[in-house]
Structure 1
């Protein structure tokens, strides 16, 4: 799978860490990591292996020293021959290789542009869908808000009408109680006047008082 990392080291059971050269390589890696951590520059690339030094002054007559120099010269010549071969191949096939490489790049650019165009269309469609959904939702919210305002206004009007009716009913009840009170007072006054008249009728009159015969 892409991006999968395969661990090929089991340090607890692997063998060979004590073999010659392994610890030296570990030390080299440790020193290199320390250099990177300290942000120090890399060592200059050594060109000594490309040099053709003669044998030392004390070994000018030593056949082994001259043999080592000759082998080094042969290695350098082989390296230069390989470089010349690579240059000749580049001269012969380099143009076509670059043309093929450029064609591949053009195809990649075309595919990337098509993908970009498709993605932009998808983004635009998503934005239009979001806009339509939000517009419809806004219209629905405005309609609901206007309905709510209308219902609140109607409730307020109903409350005012109920309060007015209660006020009118209370006034009518007060008028009725006043009328009843006045009626009861009138009846009481009429009864008292009748009783007074009856008492006056029963009271003896001076004119009808009997005359004493002794007078």
Structure 2
């Protein structure tokens, strides 16, 4: 059994769409079709349940819980940048002072790394950003070209449809004119036949009266 649908509408040449009642009749047909195919209560029941936490990290989970509980966000901790001395009870403890010195060295190294990163950013950051922008521009240009090609294909398709429908409309009008002409001729022939039959009947009646 074929499921092909033959569309006999020619929107480029058909008329009458703006006539009163046409739009209402079309809407009524659509509503009637919708009543025949009512969707089920859950038309996604054949799919597996959606896992909303598939890509959720521990940090995201904690943050979501904080937002749900309407708790304030923790302030930025500056503890890692502090250089506290040994506690009062260990002011003469060499190990405590060594730990403080190690902490200060780690802080200095961290700051040196930040300075190095800033210097690298100052020297190469602009070029890296330009390269990134160029990549984005190339992507944009490519997508715009694809869009233009797609618009061109759509325009050519619409033009082809319009051309085909215009030719079909001319042929239909020619056939309709021929049909009207033939029907008119047939009517004239029928009228002539009726007149001839009437004349023949009249002649036959006159002949019978003479006999």
TM-score (norm. length: structure 1): 0.54
Task: Select the structure that is richer in helix.
Answer: 1
Q: Which has the greater radius of gyration?
A: 1
Aligned residues, how many? 155
CA offset digits 1:53-103 (Å, max 9, x no partner): 4566xxx33479884575255324412332224314533x43431243144
Which residue of structure 2 aligns with residue 96 of structure 1?
A: 123
Match of 1:126 among 145, 153, 175: 153
Which residue of structure 2 aligns with residue 35 of structure 1?
A: 66
Which residue of structure 2 aligns with residue 136 of structure 1?
A: 163
> 8 Å contact 2:83–2:103 — kept in the other structure?
no
- Looking at structure 1, the residues matched to 122 and 60 of structure 2 have their Cα atoms a distance apart, in angstroms, of 41
- Looking at structure 2, the residues matched to 28 and 156 of structure 1 have their Cα atoms a distance apart, in angstroms, of 84
- Looking at structure 1, the residues matched to 154 and 59 of structure 2 have their Cα atoms a distance apart, in angstroms, of 57
- Looking at structure 1, the residues matched to 167 and 89 of structure 2 have their Cα atoms a distance apart, in angstroms, of 106
Query: Any unmatched runs of 5+ in structure 1?
Result: 1-25, 185-215
- Looking at structure 2, the residues matched to 111 and 99 of structure 1 have their Cα atoms a distance apart, in angstroms, of 18
Pairs within 5 Å for 1:78-117 = 78-88=106-116, 90-91=118-119, 93-116=120-143
The Cα RMSD (Å) is 3.6
- Greater shift, 173-182 or 116-125, is seen at 116-125
Query: Any unmatched runs of 5+ in structure 2?
Result: 1-56
Match of 2:81 among 50, 63, 71: 50
User: Taking CA–CA contacts closer than 8 Å with sequence separation of 6 or more, which of the two structures ends up with the larger relative contact order?
Assistant: 2
